[in-house]
Structure 1
């Protein structure tokens, strides 16, 4: 059962005790990412994450890595479109060490200007690496095609011009504004008791927090642009991605759309994989995904194939969508999807890292506590009829964007 403590500053702790493990996982989740950025500061959340590891008032970059490795712990971070997370996984005996080190990064990073200039080149290399990865580029262009240069349409990595323009003051200002205790959740899972977890959060985080001054921002609802983007590059494969209407992350149809995605393109037995790869041999990589954001969502399909097979592969995707709309999923498929989700839930409870992430994101993004029994109850309430409704919601209507990356196609993507 997930426990919760809200501290006077507004900082939240969510906690899951796991007595049958020797590990402890700690995660600090902050609601910052490209979804919440502007054109002028796009990429700052990700750049900030990098700079957190470049030196604090008590550790240089090497000492940050060395202090963690000396105790055999793993510490890392990531930035997504709707949140950033700093996390560690360690033996239970090193729990306090990890709490101290993560708090050191968040509250006492110096954002040294010399280190900033070096890290700017690193992040620009990361941007260029992403642009050289056809699949990454195709999906980035797809989000831009669907959303335009707004909200989730912006790249997590930002732009080269923005990265080069960031100053030390920009980072301090961003931290002061966005790393607000009311915008953060600390998630702890593992072999530690709740009282100790509360004590250490108070010691290393609450003691360094000011009273939350977070003012909810009424963001303009992003209206899908629903454009198509053609990117010509001399590649051996045609990379093609489709975007359709999805749901936001507080929608009660989340389980249904995840089940639909799993059955349609989420695994080796899914319809897209079986038809496009196994039966027709048209592509090595083909899959679907459901993305959820604060006030919207998008359902995507990706495939990579040779240019001469692209039109046939696209036709097969359209055929599978039409079959789905006409006949829906079979009772056998529906049962399989439920078992897959149930298994994933059970396995997540056996990993302190998985449980930490799941609980932290749930609290931050949905303002809910993770409850396994409730999840199972919600799963039993998803009916095959609700999946049919989701199929129609996603695929019926004028709600499609397309991204193409590869050699000049012999067809117009707007006509797909």
Structure 2
């Protein structure tokens, strides 16, 4: 018998997109399954926040499922459990999402609950104070995760003086002082219909989803008070560094990045391929010297580091392309890392859902020459942003790091 595997469906489902009168967009992809995922994605996050209310979006995420004006927390939890569903949310720098995984037959109830959570969150003073403690504890836990600290500091230095440098969680000082009115103002400023996408995939009918959206979201405002329309100011990348030396820590966490491509840029696919070529490595991986990434093999053979991970974070108008590594001997590993680099949410971002076949064609069109050209465009002779936390005394001076970004100048 021959085993046959199929990576993608021969006839991928059509993505349908409809805009309501208030500007809210409804997108769906019907697969005929007995389950579905439906969610509301909103163009808001820490990039839309100020120094004063940084962390408001993350705070609201914690309050989202603590009860609505129609469903107290216990009733809301019982509703979700009785459906056998999973209700969750997340906040990033440019997006906030509330979504539910459930049976297809329960789609109407799922959309109703999502509408309640987003539009009628109770925001009681008691819940705010309770969640304030939860958020502060979570901030304390994140402070112990040096990888998260490192990447947050990388954004802070790379996009210093711009909103993209804000942390998603916000500072603990804001978590202590945010008031109910601050949260209400945040919702009134950013939860607007033209910035929302109701998306569903699985066993869903598009016309039914549009009708549900009209029923539950047609009342979402599309108007702003006065001149209060939030403008997404352009972000400026700055080559710079932050070092937090602490010789009491066993390992150094270091990240180096250059400005990458935006989410809608045609350069995004070649950079994703370059990201895969660099790859990742951890001492706990198997494979030893047989790892596919050349940099990973060097890390094993020369015992350069404990782990590394290439990354590409893309935003609406810019991005970060770089690598994060954990090492006890930063100087040798840093040199290897730079040498290797020198040689080698769809509706909101694109306004449409890019089909799998189109992604496949884009990836197939990437050639070694194209990857080299794109890497040269974004990496060669560019000022990097550098962050180091831990015993980083041996990390080369920033000027030496900058000079390592090119070989010869003519």
* Counterpart-to-counterpart distance in 2, 1:386 and 1:81: 30
2:133 maps to which residue? 121
TM-score where L is the length of structure 2 = 0.87
Gaps of 5+ in 2: 1-13, 282-290, 402-410
* Counterpart-to-counterpart distance in 2, 1:394 and 1:211: 38
1:379 maps to which residue? 363
* Counterpart-to-counterpart distance in 2, 1:288 and 1:165: 36
Match of 2:330 among 307, 310, 326: 310
Kindly indicate whether the alpha-carbon contact (under 8 Å) linking 1:266 and 1:289 is maintained by their aligned counterparts in 2.
no
CA offset digits 1:274-330 (Å, max 9, x no partner):
222x22222232111111112211112011112xx2211112112212332xxxxxx
* Counterpart-to-counterpart distance in 2, 1:188 and 1:319: 44
Match of 1:262 among 276, 280, 290: 276
* Counterpart-to-counterpart distance in 1, 2:350 and 2:177: 33
More helix per residue: 1 or 2?
Answer: 1
Match of 2:85 among 55, 73, 78: 73
Match of 2:42 among 24, 27, 30: 30
Q: Which moved more, 1:138-147 or 1:258-267?
A: 258-267
SS in structure 1 of the partner of residue 170 of structure 2: coil
Q: Does 1:107 align with 2:91?
A: no
CA offset digits 1:115-170 (Å, max 9, x no partner):
11111111111111111111111111111121114222110000111122211111
* Counterpart-to-counterpart distance in 2, 1:247 and 1:73: 37
Kindly indicate whether the alpha-carbon contact (under 8 Å) linking 2:111 and 2:216 is maintained by their aligned counterparts in 1.
yes
How far the C-alpha of 1:231 sits from its partner, in A, is 1.2
Q: Does 1:13 align with 2:36?
A: no
Q: Does 1:53 align with 2:62?
A: no
SS in structure 1 of the partner of residue 341 of structure 2: helix
TM-score where L is the length of structure 1 = 0.85
CA offset digits 1:48-79 (Å, max 9, x no partner):
11111222112222332232122211110000
* Counterpart-to-counterpart distance in 2, 1:205 and 1:219: 24
SS in structure 2 of the partner of residue 121 of structure 1: helix
Q: How does 1:208-227 map to 2 (within 5 A)?
A: 208-213=219-224, 217-227=230-240
RMSD: 1.9
Q: Does 1:230 align with 2:243?
A: yes
2:339 maps to which residue? 319
Q: Does 1:404 align with 2:388?
A: yes
* Counterpart-to-counterpart distance in 2, 1:242 and 1:378: 27
Q: 1:370 to 1:319 in 2, by over 3 A?
A: closer
* Counterpart-to-counterpart distance in 2, 1:263 and 1:15: 33
Q: How does 1:143-292 map to 2 (within 5 A)?
A: 143-206=155-218, 208-213=219-224, 217-233=230-246, 234-266=248-280, 269-276=292-299, 278-292=300-314
SS in structure 1 of the partner of residue 292 of structure 2: coil
How far the C-alpha of 1:405 sits from its partner, in A, is 0.7
SS in structure 2 of the partner of residue 86 of structure 1: strand
* Counterpart-to-counterpart distance in 2, 1:7 and 1:254: 31
Kindly indicate whether the alpha-carbon contact (under 8 Å) linking 1:245 and 1:393 is maintained by their aligned counterparts in 2.
no
SS in structure 2 of the partner of residue 195 of structure 1: helix
1:390 maps to which residue? 374
CA offset digits 1:57-116 (Å, max 9, x no partner):
122223322321222111100001110100111111222221111111011111111111
SS in structure 2 of the partner of residue 170 of structure 1: helix
Q: 1:372 to 1:216 in 2, by over 3 A?
A: farther
* Counterpart-to-counterpart distance in 2, 1:7 and 1:263: 43
Kindly indicate whether the alpha-carbon contact (under 8 Å) linking 1:32 and 1:178 is maintained by their aligned counterparts in 2.
yes
